[in-house]
Amino acid sequence: MTDTRLLVLMVPKERRDDFVDALIGQEALSGFTLLPALGYSREHSHFSIPEQVAGYREFDRFEVLVEAGALAGLLQQLSATSGSERLRYWVSPVKAEGHLPLPPG
């Protein structure tokens, strides 16, 4: 069994292409998932006026399965891509992963 982690990264939707390019270029990754997300926060002073009125900001949620040994390098690459913009991320251990259907037996 491998030591896999799930990296979740929240990216403002207008930065999507930058992070898609950064992730596609990672040899250690076989792929990733991209989902739309709405971010709500009590600290929304960095939101635009329309976002403050709506009460949320539109994000893209990137989900990436990555080996624990490759995680630090991936975070460094994504940090370089983010520039000075602060982006929220978290990492969780993966207990199991695979493909369905399961093989017989």
Q: What is the per-residue pLDDT across 52-80, written as a single tens digit (0 to 9) for each?
A: 777 788 999 999 999 999 999 999 999 99
Tell which CATH architecture fits domain 4-93.
2-Layer Sandwich (3.30)
pLDDT of residue 56: 80
The SS3 of residue 7 is: strand
| Domains in the chain: boundaries | 4-93
pTM: 0.88
CA–CA dist 5, 62 (Å, integer): 13
Name the stretches of the chain with pLDDT < 50. none
Between helix 16-24 and helix 68-82 the angle, nearest 10°, is 140
- Mean pLDDT of the residues in the chain: 92
Q: What angle do CA 98, 3, 65 make, to 5 degrees?
A: 55
Cis-peptide into 101, omega within 30 deg: yes
